[in-house]
């Protein structure tokens, strides 16, 4: 059974650009959550999608958005990148929202220069 797949693994972008990250959950999992991990702030919840609908949202500006497709794959988008957006972006998949049996991907390391 394949795990959670995030692409790309590494990304370098310039301030002001936008970026799209992808997450393919474990087969059969319909809930995908996104997190931002930085040394200073730790792991912070961005949002969660279930059945193509955003179910929960953290305290991030509107520049951070996401969506989920009918096959449960999810993408997150960050527009107008800022230096402070440099982070490891992790997604986690689970059967349903709030399920503690969530599995994380390896993450996408985004560097904004």
Partner 1 sequence: GQQLNQSPQSMFIQEGEDVSMNCTSSSIFNTWLWYKQDPGEGPVLLIALYKAGELTSNGRLTAQFGITRKDSFLNISASIPSDVGIYFCAGLARSGGSNYKLTFGKGTLLTVNP
Looking at the Cβ atoms of 35 and 64, the one nearer to partner 1 is: 35
Report in angstroms how near the CB of residue 87 gets to partner 1 at its nearest: 13
> What's the rounded Cα separation, in Å, for the pair 36 and 107?
9
Strand partners, 89: 36, 108
CA torsion through residues 64, 10, 105, 27, sign? positive
The binder of partner 1 chosen from 13, 30, 55, 67 (CB under 8 A): 55
Q: Which residue ranges make up the site for partner 1 (CB under 8 A)? A: 4, 33, 35, 42-45, 50, 55-56, 59, 90, 92, 96-98, 100-107
């Amino acid at each position: 059974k394949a795990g959670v797949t995030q692409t790309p693994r590494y990304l370098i972008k310039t301030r002001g650009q936008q970026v799209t990250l992808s997450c393919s959950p474990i087969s059969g999992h319909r809930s995908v959550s996104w997190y931002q991990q930085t040394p200073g702030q730790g792991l912070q919840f961005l949002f969660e999608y279930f059945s193509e609908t955003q179910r929960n949202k953290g305290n991030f500006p509107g520049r951070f958005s996401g969506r989920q497709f009918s096959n449960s794959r999810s993408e997150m988008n960050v527009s107008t990148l800022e230096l402070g957006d440099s982070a490891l972006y992790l997604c986690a998949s689970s059967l349903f929202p709030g399920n503690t049996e969530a599995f994380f991907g390896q993450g996408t390391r985004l560097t904004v220069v």
